[in-house]
C-alpha cells in the first residue's frame, strides 16, 4: 500500500488549507497527562522502529521504487472514490516521488528515557519548502505506531520499580527480578504489531516473555543479537488442554510423567488449577516430594484463576485451611527452604510459583506487600503480565499528541499554539521552536526559542532527508531505562 494513504482522511488536503506562502511546519510529540496513579514520567520508545519501518523501508519499497504513473493513478483513484469530486490532485505526490526521499528532520531524546509530562520526546519539521505539508501528514501513522510502545515501556518500568523495591527489602536474589515480570500478553493484544511492539517494550525492563516475535523485532530494529546477549526467554510450560487431556482422574499421573519423564531436569511450569489447585498443593505435591527434590531443576506451580492476591498470599476468610494459607505458604510447609540474611523465607530452589492472569500494578504491589508481611521474600513468585495490563490503555492514558508549534510563511516565523477555552488546560500546547534541557537529572522544556537555541540541548538530530543518523541498540536503551 502507498504509505501516503496511511493517514486520516482529513489530512490529504491540508496542504491547500495552510496560508499561501507556507514553507515550514514544526511539530512535536508529547505526553500531556497521566491517567495512571503515581506515574508522572513516560518512557520514550518506538521512534527508531517507526523511522526504519515506515519512513525508510516502506516508502522505498512501496513508493519511491515503484513506477511513478501507477503510484499516482492508484492514489488518485483512492482519493477520488473517497472524497468524490475534489481538487486534492497528485502534483505534490509526483514531486515527492521525483525527490526520492522523505525531506524531514526528526530530533529526539534517547529512547529509554523517562520523560516528564508536557516535555516533548521528539520534534520534526520539513527540510524542503514545498513539502511543508508532510510534517503533520505523518501525525496519524506516527501516533498509531508509537503511543503503545511508550505506554507499555512505561508500565513495565512501573512493575520493575515495584518488584525491585520489594526484592531489595526481602530477597537475597534481587537480580531475579529480571525474570519476575513475564509477558503473557500476545494473544490479548489488538493485532500482531501491537503485540510485538508492546512485547518489545516489556523487554526493556524484563527478560521473561512468551512473545517470541518481539525478540526478532529487537534484532531487526534495535541491533540486538540473541547469540551474544539475552533478549528474552522462557521455560517449558503446560496449558489447560494438556492437563485436561490427561483427564481429571489422571491428573496426578500427568504431573508425575511431566516431572520424571518429559522434563526430568530444568525448569518446568505446570498449570495447576484445571480442576482443584488446593488438591494439587496438599495431595499431589506431598506424594511427589521426593521426585521434585531429586530433579536438577525447578517445578513451578501455576494457578491462574481467582483473585491473584488471595491465591498467592492466602485469604484469611477462606473456607478451608489451604485457602487461608495460599500457594506460597503451602509450598513452604511442604518443601521448606531457607531464611535469608534479611530475615525472609525463600522456597527450596526445586519449587516455585507463577501467577499468570489478571495481574495489575496494584495487585503486584499487594502480592509483594502481603508476602513480606507473612515473612516471605517477594521473589518467591513470578507474575505473568498480560493484556489486562498492556491492552487496557489508549493514546489518552498519557495524553499523547503531536502538535505544530512553529511555522514559516513568506519567510517569516510564526509561533503557533492551541489553548481551547473549553478545555481544562490539558490540551494547551507549547509555543514556537523548542529546546529540552536537563536540570537536576530531569528533562525540562523551554519553548519560544530561536533557531540557534533550538540546535542546543538534549534533542538530538536522529533522522534527516531519508537517512537514520543515530541507531540505538537494545543494550543502550536498557542502560538508559534504569537511569
What are the Cα distances from residue 296, in Å, to 233, 261, 280, 281, 350?
Answer: 19, 13, 21, 21, 8
Q: Are residues 436 and 458 in the same domain?
A: yes
Q: Are residues 54 and 116 in the same domain?
A: yes
Task: Tell me, yes or no, whether 253 and 358 share the same domain.
Answer: yes
Report the relative pairing of strands 299-302 and 104-108 from DSSP bridges: unpaired
* Residue ranges in 51-138 assigned as alpha helix (H): 59, 68-83, 91-99, 134-137
Whether residue 159 lies inside any domain: the answer is yes
**pLDDT at 403 (0 to 100):** 95
Q: Which domain holds residue 201?
A: 151-392
CA–CA separation, 99 and 443 (whole Å): 36
The pLDDT assigned to 281 comes to 98
Residues 85 and 194 in one domain: no
Is the residue at 282 inside a domain? Answer: yes
Q: In this structure, is residue 234 part of a structural domain?
A: yes
CATH number of domain containing 345: 3.20.20.70
The pTM of this model reads: 0.96
Q: 238 and 93, same structural domain?
A: no
Looking at the structure of the chain, the number of domains it has is 2
483 in any annotated domain = no
Decide if 27 is inside a domain.
yes
221 and 281 inside one domain: yes
> Residue 480, CB half-sphere, CA atoms under 13 Å: how many?
19
pLDDT at 429 (0 to 100): 81
Based on the domain organization, do 379 and 274 belong to the same domain?
yes
Q: Do residues 342 and 170 make contact, with C-beta atoms less than 8 angstroms apart?
A: yes
The answer to whether residue 274 sits within a structural domain is yes
Q: Residue 227: its pLDDT value, please? A: 98
Q: What is the pLDDT of residue 417?
A: 86
Q: In the prediction, which pLDDT does 419 show?
A: 83
Calpha distance 350→301 (Å, rounded): 11
In a domain, 479, yes or no: no
Q: Are 204 and 156 in contact (CB under 8 A)?
A: yes
Whole-angstrom distance, CA of residue 357 vs CA of residue 360 = 9
| Residue finishing a domain among 392, 414, 436 | 392
Locus of grid cell 521448606: 336
* 109 and 206 fall within a common domain: no
Q: Under the phi-then-psi rule, with left for phi > 0, alpha for psi from -120 to 50, and beta for the rest, what region is 474?
A: alpha
Q: Tens digit of pLDDT for each residue in 398-415?
A: 999 999 999 999 999 999
- Report the CATH number at residue 28: 3.20.140.10
Stretches where the chain sits below pLDDT 70 are: none
Contact yes or no for 326/313 (Cβ under 8 A): yes
Do both 355 and 206 map to the same domain? yes
Of 368, 392, 416, the residue at which a domain comes to its end is 392
Same-domain status, 170 and 306: yes
Instruction: Among 392, 408, 436, identify where a domain stops.
Output: 392
Contact 386, 180 (CB under 8 A): no
Residue 468 inside a domain? The answer is yes
Residues 339 and 348: their CA atoms lie apart, in Å, by: 10
CA 258 to centroid of chain Cα atoms:
34
Whether residue 73 sits in one domain with residue 88: yes
Identify the pLDDT of residue 356. 87
Beta-carbon count within 10 A of 246 CB:
17
φ, ψ of residue 468 to 5 degrees: the values are -80, 125
Same domain, 213 and 144: no
Amino acid at each position: 500500500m502507498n504509505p501516503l494513504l496511511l493517514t486520516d482522511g482529513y489530512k490529504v488536503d491540508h496542504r491547500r488549507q495552510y496560508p499561501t506562502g507556507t514553507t515550514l511546519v514544526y511539530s512535536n510529540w508529547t505526553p500531556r497527562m497521566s491517567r495512571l496513579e503515581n506515574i508522572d514520567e513516560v518512557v520514550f520508545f518506538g521512534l527508531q522502529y517507526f523511522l526504519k519501518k515506515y519512513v525508510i523501508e516502506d516508502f522505498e519499497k512501496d513508493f519511491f521504487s515503484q513506477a511513478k504513473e501507477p503510484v499516482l493513478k492508484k492514489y488518485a483513484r483512492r482519493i477520488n472514490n473517497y472524497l468524490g469530486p475534489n481538487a486534492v490532485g497528485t502534483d505534490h505526490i509526483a514531486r515527492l516521488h521525483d525527490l526520492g526521499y522523505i525531506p524531514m528532520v526528526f530530533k529526539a531524546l534517547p529512547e529509554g528515557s523517562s520523560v516528564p509530562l508536557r516535555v516533548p520526546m521528539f520534534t520534526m519539521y520539513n527540510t524542503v519548502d514545498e513539502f511543508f505539508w508532510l510534517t503533520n501528514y505523518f501525525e496519524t501513522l506516527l501516533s498509531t505506531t508509537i503511543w503503545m510502545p511508550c505506554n507499555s515501556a512505561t508500565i513495565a518500568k512501573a512493575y520493575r520499580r515495584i518488584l525491585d523495591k520489594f526484592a531489595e527489602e526481602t530477597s537475597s536474589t534481587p537480580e531475579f527480578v529480571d525474570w519476575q515480570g513475564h509477558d503473557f500478553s500476545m494473544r490479548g493484544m489488538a493485532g500482531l504489531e501491537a503485540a510485538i511492539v508492546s512485547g518489545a517494550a516489556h523487554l526493556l525492563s524484563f527478560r521473561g516473555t512468551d512473545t517470541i516475535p518481539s525478540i526478532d523485532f529487537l534484532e531487526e530494529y534495535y541491533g540486538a543479537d540473541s547469540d551474544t546477549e539475552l533478549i528474552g526467554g522462557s521455560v517449558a510450560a503446560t496449558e489447560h488442554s494438556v492437563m485436561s487431556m490427561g483427564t481429571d482422574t489422571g491428573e496426578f499421573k500427568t504431573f508425575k510423567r511431566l516431572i520424571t519423564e518429559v522434563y526430568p531436569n530444568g525448569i518446568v511450569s505446570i498449570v495447576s488449577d484445571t480442576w482443584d489447585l488446593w488438591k494439587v498443593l496438599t495431595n499431589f505435591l506431598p506424594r511427589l516430594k521426593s521426585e521434585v527434590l531429586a530433579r536438577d531443576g525447578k517445578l513451578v506451580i501455576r494457578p491462574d484463576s481467582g483473585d491473584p492476591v488471595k491465591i498467592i498470599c492466602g485469604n484469611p476468610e477462606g473456607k478451608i485451611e489451604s485457602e487461608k494459607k495460599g500457594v506460597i505458604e503451602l509450598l513452604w510447609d511442604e518443601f521448606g527452604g531457607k531464611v535469608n540474611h534479611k530475615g525472609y523465607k525463600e522456597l527450596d530452589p526445586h519449587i516455585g510459583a507463577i501467577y499468570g492472569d489478571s495481574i495489575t500494578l496494584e495487585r503486584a504491589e499487594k502480592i509483594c506487600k502481603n508476602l513480606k508481611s507473612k515473612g516471605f521474600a517477594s521473589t518467591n513468585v513470578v507474575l505473568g503480565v498480560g493484556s489486562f495490563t498492556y491492552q487496557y490503555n489508549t493514546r489518552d492514558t498519557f495524553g499523547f499528541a503531536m502538535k505544530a508549534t512553529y511555522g514559516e510563511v513568506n519567510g517569516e516565523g510564526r509561533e503557533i499554539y492551541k489553548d481551547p477555552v473549553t478545555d481544562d488546560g490539558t490540551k494547551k500546547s507549547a509555543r514556537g521552536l523548542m529546546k529540552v534541557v536537563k536540570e537536576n537529572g530531569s528533562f525540562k522544556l523551554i519553548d519560544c526559542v530561536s533557531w540557534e537555541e533550538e540546535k542546543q540541548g538534549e534533542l538530538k538530530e536522529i533522522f534527516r532527508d531519508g537517512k537514520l543518523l543515530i541507531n540505538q541498540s537494545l543494550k543502550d536503551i536498557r542502560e538508559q531505562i534504569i537511569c
